[in-house]
Structure 1
């Protein structure tokens, strides 16, 4: 959640590291909500013993002799106690050496009766435990602290607590030490939440405005307007009970719910107002209107919640991410139904009257005439449509076909790429680059990056650790300025930085924006990964270059790279085993000697009250650098003599893999890639699969997408089943409510129009069909059938209670319900409009949801007003024909 850098203008970095580890990190770890504090920079204090190979050789000693002497001179073991008649005494001794000076005076051997001290044959100094690790904050070497929160902890309050402690913590440190906050994830989270809250308030204002525009009465506007805060407050209560947090997903659900929760209240108040305008008393009108519309409200509510059921039971990563979203939205819808069937009729009975509804101003009269003309025009158009049912049916079938075609051809992605102001980078240099060389290259790249006007700070790391596999790579974290302080979005900044760094010779820079919604747990060069697994290294070394060559030519991929590095320089020590055996030297002796000299070997531990430190043994390669240092290695033979390594071994230079990764015990390499702006992840995945087929990879090589790409394939495969499950769930709920097989089909016939509108809107906006957009389409499935439910409920009631013909009943139902249909659709549309138009932090995540819903609602609103009545009549004729056939069969039987 936060990255801190500790620098000093006077203290060595080893002292800074020790102070950070024992004081600063400990204090931060104690803050409520902090789960883990990790340090980068590798400057942990140690005593470094740099042997002079020529000096120990001249004295007839070996590095193993020195190692054994140091190990035996610095111990920390139990010594027992003296238990007397009256008291016990614990035994202790000066068996620990604490400083470099004490080690310098250590006697490691005698020669001609004279002591040989460690300082005579080695440089002993206070240094770093690992001299091949380093971290930088901007251009200063630093110790970097990465703070992670506990699972379930509130990230905002945790970050606030850390910031509150920092001034007090800084005062307790030496004046030359500076603690800087390099990045704070909560800054973007706060901005994103603020933007979403603004969009929520805007949605509420727009919905209330549309209610007033239709009802033209302040009391009538207040009644459904009350449903919004009551439903949201009730939803918050359930969220607290379920331990949900306010985040992007739950706030998106609440924003969308703003358009939903007033729908039921609008339907109820519109029906009650109609009876009051006819002259009935408010109380009687409220009872009659609410009772008449009650079944419709239940149908609307449960069929909409049924759409969300498949989301609740999805077992993959997408299901786990969106469970809070689905539950939050379902709770809001359920509470709004309760409010509309209880509080709304009561408020109508108390607040509405014939006088208040009939009281009109100039705006009311003008809008009333406008709506009357619209309804009259709709009535004329509907009459014509009902006279040409097969033409209308062909339009409905065309929308179904067009939905399928759009689904096939629309670009598909996983999650939208967010701009949260942080870029993760990997710097790659030639395979045999040393730490010093890599550190120099890193500083050159840092100078270039920090010149960019969008960059606020830079953290970089060089060396081998858990996330950095080799010395020829470096990790970068680029923190950008806030969105309102820079001109360009993160993708343009990345392109600009890569172009600038291309001028630095000998390095490749891979950049990707970090994401709030991600399932990747490993650090990677790029956003997407693809693995090749083989039974042998030879197979990988043969096929990885061929596949890489093909993939790098594909326009659907960019920044293609591989972690297969098989050109690392190796000094291969080829030991003559016969000669070594004759001298009594084992391969273990050879390995020990090499490790003592060149492995930064940890040979002993220094214990203090606050921490523990290591003693590091190595040869002083500054005296004899390069491969010549191998000639200085000496071994002890079985007769006690000193044998040069060169007398029993030859050194050969070879190439070998820098590291070998394994998956399920087999060697594996990972190919990383990004997707250019003009292509989708689906295009990239298909291109890789096609390339595999053209190469005809052997059977002993298996390929698999990893991380987000694997989850994308899984989500893409389950999306169709998810939509089918949502439709089936709605059909079952509607079938139970209507006790009919036919009427649910009529209601569900509205769904293709929503799909066409959503997919067309996404394509026009240049958005991919990603997980967020699919969630929007699933919500549309639940929304657009509201129009059909309101029409069919009133048509069935007119047939049953007034004895109307099906044609007259559906015609009257469409005209009577036109206003509430238009109101509820516009309310849902305006609830999604702020999401579609959002531009702030996290807008990339919210925008596809708004685009899909707005597009789907516009198209479905226009088409379903005409197609639903036609389909209702066609299914009514089908039902009559089916009944007559059954009756004829029964008579013949």
Structure 2
């Protein structure tokens, strides 16, 4: 069996990410419009978002995996159907892209599962990048389960040709003629072959320029019979393809290799496979390269799985102790306890066949199932033991007890599985997350039901002793005496309640009202925030900052963070990168925390913010890395909303108003937005009359500007292992200014040089740093975090109130994204999910009992469980999230068992013994008190390890344990008294409706 911690993307609807690195903003915009017009017509695309920055655009394509069609698409995606979509996209992109797009199937919000840092004291980073790319990254990307391998630091080798435009002009040349000469001189095309008299020949040529010296000596023109070489008009250097990218391991310049897994891949198996190959891969690198594992997410994942396994074993031990305390027989305890390992082992087998893995969710299901699976065995063996105590032989007791209780166990098993049916058919991301949880639980319960109906009676008949042979010990006598006193008190309490049925019904109705009230007032959220031992950081500076200044600020912030005693290491990067959706004024960090730290994440993040606040000019945003990620994108804050409208100006205007109002809300903090984010732009206003007179076209001006300042790729060097760009640009010194831009030399129609300033005016203006579209509409994103003690539901309500306060027009749409959007969807589905579970149980019970009334009696136990669960979550400050909802749904299956056991015996007593409803339900309540108490305590103690869980992932499991523990405590105290009263009330109502006379007890001796 595999062990992993699958995050949200195991069933996440996001299966495709298309990152198109487009070198020109205008080309990116044209490509975006062209793609959106065609792809918006696809019904299965729920969202098509585009984020465009200074160097390119990232397209985010999200499949709407909802309903039957969505489920089928989800299956097809696993078999590579997304490649069909990528082929379609390829036909929609313009043919003249300056660089090919990059595709990846991955969830971009995923934190890397493994981060490697490669450094060297002697080798330049460009060469390090080349070695890492060809000998390390390529091999790692071929490992099974690896989804995306990215390199931060961006020092990919390239030949840069920095043209001296004035020198070019002196030779009567322009950037266009230089580009043409370079492109023509470096060729790599097929040349054919021929057959000689005795052998065949392939034709090759030295048509490629491979080194800097080759390019320096390239003849670009002749003047007065003398060659003009490239080195006469340009500086040719070995450099990097993107000079505005940098990465550091702690504070040392490095190439950072981040590994993200494929959606659904086994994370531990993936990382183990990579680490197994690392010694071999490191041996292929020069000895002067140091390779360090900077971050390994599986360390925490392994610890989390280990803690859940301990909790599972602890739950088994506690359940076994409960059985022994009531049956005070080692043999009976062993028989009942065998249901646990058999059911769990059987579940492992089915999970293996279904391709499931051992993860936080499936192990959490198995832990809770420990209390469920033993219930059926307890009910069976307790009934058999009761007949043995009455003097029956074990074989006869087993036959009689199994025959009597068989229908009850079928009812318990089928109705409990029915509770899980709505979970199996939940749509959207959250439903896909917990489908494996529900299937695992259903399989375990089904196997336990079969074991209880077959193995338990057989072993009881063969292994239990008769009452005369079984001599109770001191412990058994004491526990039996204690239990006798308890049942006597229950007997008196039950008589008191049956004598005051009206008051009891009022209490039951009050419980229902209290449940509804608690549902309304309890804080609501999605998932609890986990402490995974890792933080994601985003550093922001002023929007017009240069790369070198931003790199310096990033290093200062990193140094301040590393000084904290709870920080172990960090990976840091800064620069413009379309593939990673970063901009020049932002930097990112992945901060690894020490395992033995004492500070909780909130305390630590606030301390780090205070440290970085001492660095002038930067703002630090922090959020814990989460195992369950719903977001499709990363951002500076944990939650996001978007505003979409018909035009960008309107969106920006209302976004600024909404942000200002949100910043006043006490429930929110770190409110930030990209609305109106602008940098400095040098805008060239062409004098078209003058340009026309000189026969200089606007296209020629654009072409010259792009060649000078657009990092223009003019050729490609092909080697045996890789390919490298040849980049043309103008020489740019540190004193570059608008005036220097105006000195860019153009060529007139007659070939004469003229400066750009002669045909254009250059002015400094503001320009957006980033343009975002959702579908075909301009959009902007607003990020926020929740204040301490504030639930996500309260924050969402505060944002909606803020939108109402500013009177947000209907033409501007407010949409909650990622986790906050999933919360909105789950909030609307939560109540329906619980109602669907109740309806499923009612239908199943109605079929089993062939009655409309008895299922209602059984379901009357649910409000008390709801009160207990909601109170437990509220008192402990957990709030009601998806995990708590699942706990309440499971409570529906647990607490109804009490009523089923009572009502089955009452119906049998009425039918076979002719007892009145009052006598029948009273006898049933007393006879079934012990198995009811045993099953409840078994489920209760199975939840205790989750409730008091510790270590990695405990925050995720705790609400489930709390909901079940609180619900069972309250329901046990109430339903033992309310169920008999409600049974009698429904019986009287049914008899009135059918016109039957009230049933009377038989006369003594009749």
What is the TM-score normalised by the length of structure 1? 0.97
State which drifts further: 815-824 or 873-882.
Answer: 873-882
Deviations 1:792-827 (A, max 9, x none): 111111111111111111111111111110000000
Partner of 1:428: 540
The partner residue of 1:823 within 913, 924, 934 is 934
Partner of 2:868: 757
Question: How far did residue 536 of structure 1 move?
Answer: 1.4
Q: Distance in 2 between matches of 1:107 and 1:881?
A: 108
Q: Distance in 2 between matches of 1:306 and 1:247?
A: 24
Q: Distance in 2 between matches of 1:37 and 1:827?
A: 47
Contact 1:460 1:475 in 2 (8 A): yes
Change (3 A) 1:403 1:582: same
Partner secondary structure for residue 778 of structure 2: strand
State which drifts further: 302-311 or 471-480.
Answer: 471-480
Q: Distance in 2 between matches of 1:806 and 1:624?
A: 98
Q: Distance in 2 between matches of 1:93 and 1:274?
A: 96
Matched, 1:647 2:758: yes
What are the equivalent positions in structure 2 for 1:188-267 lying under 5 Å apart? Answer: 188-267=300-379
RMSD, aligned α-carbons: 1.5
Q: Distance in 1 between matches of 2:132 and 2:676?
A: 35
The partner residue of 2:789 within 659, 678, 690 is 678
The partner residue of 2:405 within 275, 293, 296 is 293
Question: How far did residue 83 of structure 1 move?
Answer: 4.3
Contact 1:431 1:565 in 2 (8 A): no
The partner residue of 1:834 within 928, 932, 945 is 945
Matched, 1:812 2:923: yes
In structure 2, stretches of 5+ residues that fail to align are 1-112, 999-1006
Partner of 1:633: 744
Contact 1:469 1:659 in 2 (8 A): no
Matched, 1:532 2:643: yes
What are the equivalent positions in structure 2 for 1:117-132 lying under 5 Å apart? Answer: 117-132=229-244
Q: Distance in 1 between matches of 2:799 and 2:277?
A: 50
Question: How far did residue 828 of structure 1 move?
Answer: 0.2
In structure 1, stretches of 5+ residues that fail to align are 888-893
The partner residue of 2:770 within 656, 659, 675 is 659
The partner residue of 2:713 within 576, 585, 602 is 602
Matched, 1:793 2:888: no
Partner of 2:299: 187
Deviations 1:679-699 (A, max 9, x none): 111111111111111212233
Partner of 1:890: none
Matched, 1:691 2:821: no
Question: How far did residue 508 of structure 1 move?
Answer: 1.1
The partner residue of 1:474 within 554, 567, 587 is 587
Q: Distance in 2 between matches of 1:650 and 1:152?
A: 56
What are the equivalent positions in structure 2 for 1:416-815 lying under 5 Å apart? Answer: 416-465=528-577, 466-482=579-595, 485-622=596-733, 624-815=735-926
Q: Distance in 2 between matches of 1:655 and 1:92?
A: 52
Deviations 1:393-436 (A, max 9, x none): 11100010000000000000011111111211211111101111
Matched, 1:153 2:300: no
Q: Distance in 1 between matches of 2:160 and 2:743?
A: 19
Contact 2:380 2:401 in 1 (8 A): yes
Question: How far did residue 71 of structure 1 move?
Answer: 1.4
Partner of 2:473: 361
State which drifts further: 302-311 or 516-525.
Answer: 516-525
Change (3 A) 1:629 1:391: same
Partner of 1:20: 132
Matched, 1:409 2:501: no
Question: How far did residue 180 of structure 1 move?
Answer: 1.0
What is the TM-score normalised by the length of structure 2? 0.86
Q: Distance in 2 between matches of 1:664 and 1:803?
A: 70
Deviations 1:1-26 (A, max 9, x none): 21111111110001011101111122
Q: Distance in 1 between matches of 2:653 and 2:988?
A: 68
Matched, 1:144 2:256: yes
Change (3 A) 1:152 1:695: closer
Question: How far did residue 358 of structure 1 move?
Answer: 4.1
Q: Distance in 1 between matches of 2:458 and 2:194?
A: 88
Q: Distance in 1 between matches of 2:809 and 2:898?
A: 56
State which drifts further: 421-430 or 534-543.
Answer: 534-543
Contact 2:738 2:763 in 1 (8 A): no
Partner secondary structure for residue 691 of structure 1: helix
Q: How many positions carry a matched residue from both structures?
A: 885
Partner of 2:174: 62
Q: Distance in 2 between matches of 1:536 and 1:68?
A: 40
Contact 1:35 1:148 in 2 (8 A): yes
Q: Distance in 1 between matches of 2:385 and 2:844?
A: 29
Q: Distance in 2 between matches of 1:150 and 1:669?
A: 29
Question: How far did residue 885 of structure 1 move?
Answer: 7.4
State which drifts further: 189-198 or 877-886.
Answer: 877-886
The partner residue of 1:393 within 502, 505, 521 is 505
Question: How far did residue 152 of structure 1 move?
Answer: 4.1
Question: How far did residue 353 of structure 1 move?
Answer: 1.5
Partner secondary structure for residue 516 of structure 1: coil
Contact 1:282 1:348 in 2 (8 A): yes
Deviations 1:258-303 (A, max 9, x none): 0011101111111111111111111000000011001110111111
Question: How far did residue 628 of structure 1 move?
Answer: 3.3
Contact 2:391 2:467 in 1 (8 A): no
Q: Distance in 1 between matches of 2:926 and 2:238?
A: 89
Contact 2:991 2:997 in 1 (8 A): no
Question: How far did residue 216 of structure 1 move?
Answer: 1.0
Question: How far did residue 623 of structure 1 move?
Answer: 6.4
Change (3 A) 1:769 1:219: same
Q: Distance in 2 between matches of 1:526 and 1:629?
A: 40
Partner of 2:383: 271
State which drifts further: 38-47 or 763-772.
Answer: 38-47
Partner of 1:861: 972
Partner of 2:66: none
What are the equivalent positions in structure 2 for 1:870-885 lying under 5 Å apart? Answer: 870-884=981-995
Contact 1:566 1:655 in 2 (8 A): no
Deviations 1:714-765 (A, max 9, x none): 1110111111110000001111111111110000000000000000000111
Q: Distance in 2 between matches of 1:886 and 1:817?
A: 28
Contact 1:277 1:358 in 2 (8 A): no
Change (3 A) 1:868 1:418: same
Q: Distance in 1 between matches of 2:146 and 2:990?
A: 65
Matched, 1:103 2:224: no
Q: Distance in 2 between matches of 1:438 and 1:236?
A: 52
Partner of 2:183: 71
Contact 1:593 1:635 in 2 (8 A): yes
Question: How far did residue 110 of structure 1 move?
Answer: 2.4
Q: Distance in 1 between matches of 2:162 and 2:346?
A: 69
Q: Distance in 2 between matches of 1:690 and 1:295?
A: 53
Q: Distance in 1 between matches of 2:537 and 2:672?
A: 13
Q: Distance in 1 between matches of 2:694 and 2:735?
A: 26
Partner secondary structure for residue 762 of structure 1: helix
Change (3 A) 1:357 1:733: farther
Question: How far did residue 363 of structure 1 move?
Answer: 1.6
The partner residue of 1:39 within 142, 151, 172 is 151
Contact 1:231 1:335 in 2 (8 A): yes
Question: How far did residue 357 of structure 1 move?
Answer: 7.1
